[in-house]
Amino acid sequence: MAANGKKHILIVEDDESITLGLEMNLRAEGYDVSVAYDGETGLARALAGGIDLAIVDVMLPKVNGFELVRSVRARGEKVPIIMLSARGAEMDKVMGLELGAEDYITKPFGLAELLARVKAVLRRDGIARDKGEEVVRVGELEINAATREVFRAGEPVSLTATEFDVLWCLVESSNRALSREEILKQVWGEGHHGTLRTIDNFVLQLRNKLERDPAEPRYLLTVRGVGYRFRT
């Protein structure tokens, strides 16, 4: 967050007309905005800190958007990222989410939709659950709702904001199966146009980080024909 208390958003986009439109409208919404026109510069600015959210195009000069996200996450940076792309194929969306992006918007997009997504991601990232220091301990896992920290066998597990929200959504409904539609609605909100495959992808990521054997999960179980549940 900027010294003036405003949220600071980084735009990494090589199309100057799109960048100008986004910058003007985000500033009008009360955000501080920085701009980078290539992936190399955008990556350096994202890693420098002080960014509350990054909006990153996929097709960028020097370093593409997928590589930018991969590099940011490999450094342990948790800054939320929304990806933009003219490529609307489901596999591109899945790849972006697998790499650690919080959201993926296909061009052309409506400005009102993008601003709503920005607000939703910032809201999720800033949530401090109104439950004091509620800590859930199951097996090797320790999940702290207030600090949004997760430990496995005493070792910290790095989760993105959205990974934590998907996990906590399931933890709050412990032992009750949630459909993919319910998870999508609870985590991303009404009106989100993500696919149900998005949920499968996030559960897979969580299993890889939290389970001793992701192929035989102890905590994040598939309920055939329904969705998923967290087993306590």
Q: Are residue 121 and residue 139 in the same domain, yes or no?
A: no
Residue 52 falls inside a structural domain? yes
- Cα diameter, the chain: 52
Tell me, what CATH number does 61's domain have? 3.40.50.2300
> Confidence class of residue 143 from pLDDT cuts 50, 70 and 90?
very high
* pLDDT tens digits for range 175-225: 889 999 888 888 877 656 567 778 888 899 899 999 999 999 999 999 998
- Please state at what angle helix 196-210 crosses helix 161-172, rounded to 10 degrees: 90
Residue 69 near residue 83 (C-beta atoms within 8 A): yes
Number of residues in the chain: 232
The least confident of 94-98, 109-113, 122-126, 146-150 is 122-126
Average pLDDT over residues 40-61: 93
Eight-state DSSP code of residue 191: T
Give 225's DSSP letter: T
Q: Mark which of 77, 97, 125 sits at the end of a domain.
A: 125
Domain boundary pick from 101, 125, 149: 125
Q: Are residues 76 and 152 in the same domain?
A: no
Q: CA–CA separation, 10 vs 43, rounded Å?
A: 10
Q: 111 falls in which pLDDT band (50, 70, 90)?
A: confident
Three-state SS at 23: helix
Q: Would you say the C-alpha torsion 23, 24, 26, 30 has a positive or negative sign?
A: positive
pLDDT of residue 160: 81
